[in-house]
Copies of this chain bind each other. A is one copy, B any other.
């Protein structure tokens, strides 16, 4: 798939006060930071815990100009239609362009992987 590339990807999870809930998102973030560079990805939470999107944007390196927010969500609801676009709009500046990507769950690679997990449990692969 041909994709636009970005200087920096912010992984945005919903957020929960529960440290156990946060763990898989932190693990994913550590993994991609290790694979693709510490400076190229951040993890933020929309609500209920920190760091927020605002916290993360404030700490970006000065040479970052093109940022994409990748929601670690399976579906688009009110949060991704309304709340997050408003947060992003408030963070845009002349120096920093921020775009909101479709949620990771709507990517074909993830949809195919979910199908394969289901197939495996039904003994179909």
Spot the interface stretch: A56-64, A73-81, A84-92. Answer: A73-81
Contact of B76 with A36 in the complex, beta carbons under 8 Å: no
Contact of B115 with A107 in the complex, beta carbons under 8 Å: no
> Would you give the shortest CB distance from A107 to chain B, in whole angstroms?
5
Contact residues in B for A25 (Cβ distance below 8 Å):
74-75
Given known contacts A74-B25, A77-B16, A40 and B101 CB-to-CB distance under 8 angstroms: no
- Secondary structure of the A contact surface, majority rule: helix
How many positions in chain A have a CB within 8 Å of any CB in the partner chain?
55
Contact residues in B for A104 (Cβ distance below 8 Å):
114, 117
Which residues on A are within 8 Å of B, measured CB to CB? 1, 3-6, 9, 11, 13, 16, 18, 20-25, 28, 31-32, 35-37, 40-41, 68, 70, 72-78, 81, 101, 104-107, 109-124
